[in-house]
Chains A and B, each alone.
Chain A
């Protein structure tokens, strides 16, 4: 069946139309509640006012968005590189894994919101925010990559041994490709989490009275009872999260579509 014919299948239309219909209904209900109960903007602004604020304050909001996204991206990148590298080191040297893995878990299970104020004392603010984004995001990459590196097909491993493969051939030709679906799953989780980490750290930093990221704008607007701007900033953060989700999903799809079941169409 051609892709064009598939696009008009009822289920595909529903999957596109229904979420949009839900959104429209939600905004309509929001607007109705605001006008019906005549709510003042400092309690609940209507969707129109939020949209207007988004446009009027775009200079400051988008500048802040840029700051937050940069932190998120840096944290994400460091988490991905760090997570994969550490997992490979763990895989090659079990001693290192035994020594360090418990602490990787401890860093992960300690709530980042509780670590952030401490980091802000010892690191410059931008460094602390970045560290938070990294702490939250790196563990999923580490854990998934470790799982992937350990789930190599045993017969394939034997085959490499039979042909006298060196350790780097085994790593780059067998283990890392085998682990790729798991690594990408970790990266997808890390993308969303690095945004969470950046926002948490910005809010912690904001309460210390500094910063210019989007989460800081939310905290600042909250002190000033500028509720429409809080909503506008929240919407931007939410959109950023959605874009990150789709970007990492697309990355995963394009890297796996030729061979992995998760990305292969059911149709034959």
Chain B
């Protein structure tokens, strides 16, 4: 690894990276997306927010990113993560690649550094590292329209990683991709998470994806969303393709699936 690796989060410290407490969000049009959401994001974890479409998962992510303000409740940042409050320590990956079509791959990845006022001399090597991390070093001069959907998403991930943020927020990033590409990106994301040691909050509506990736799944109720149940996935990392066909994986998928069904029923 080229970057300095922060020491393991002290296991005695249960201080969350960020904690949502009693968070509610009602939009101007009267739609209540969240009500009474309590959520801790723990240092170094890969946490999935799992829920049906429209349950406020994405809204929760936007609140954490500071792109939206809660109507009620509080969002508290851990002491060591004070800079995340200002967005400096957060990487965000949208459902679409959300690239600037007029800029090259390198130009897109450089954006967060340029906006943050990083010295120009420092930008190029950091962009090269981030592109290397996602396996796109050879495509730095390509334009987004020349890339496949999976490659565009890799660029989007590289852009989120280039500032070396402690917290990575991902909003159904692979939902629009074909299954083969999605599986490949799942594996690569897990590898990145393990080597770069980020805290990840991953929004998905796929039971299978959440089980494969996470060490904790938070199942949410339909709108207005709140936490219905938390599941811990004990399966060890690194997880390989063989994990997808294991009995352990199938068992977790059944538990998560049942929790999701119960969440739907509880709301009805």
Contact = CB atoms under 8 A, between A and B. Distances in A.
B168 to A, nearest CB: 12
B115 interface: yes
Contacts of A159: 92, 94, 98, 111
B153 to A, nearest CB: 13
Interface in B67-109: 67, 86-88, 90, 92, 94, 96, 98, 100-103
A259 to B, nearest CB: 5
Main secondary structure of the interface of B (DSSP, over half): loop
Q: Name the interface size band of chain A.
A: 20 to 34
A47 interface: no
Contacts of B112: 163
A162 B92 contact: yes
A165 interface: yes
Nearest to A174: B100
Nearest to A165: B115
Contacts of A153: 98
A161 to B, nearest CB: 6
A259 B100 CA distance: 9
B241 to A, nearest CB: 31
A150 interface: no
Interface in A157-192: 158-165, 169, 173-174, 177, 180
Q: Name the interface size band of chain B.
A: 20 to 34
Interface in A249-268: 258-261, 264
B96 A155 contact: yes
Contacts of A155: 94, 96, 98
Contacts of A164: 86-88, 115-116
B143 interface: yes
Interface of B: 62, 65-67, 86-88, 90, 92, 94, 96, 98, 100-103, 111-112, 114-116, 143-145, 163
19 contacts: A155-B98, A156-B98, A158-B92, A158-B94, A159-B94, A161-B67, A162-B65, A163-B87, A163-B115, A163-B116, A163-B163, A164-B87, A164-B88, A164-B116, A165-B115, A169-B115, A173-B115, A177-B102, A261-B145
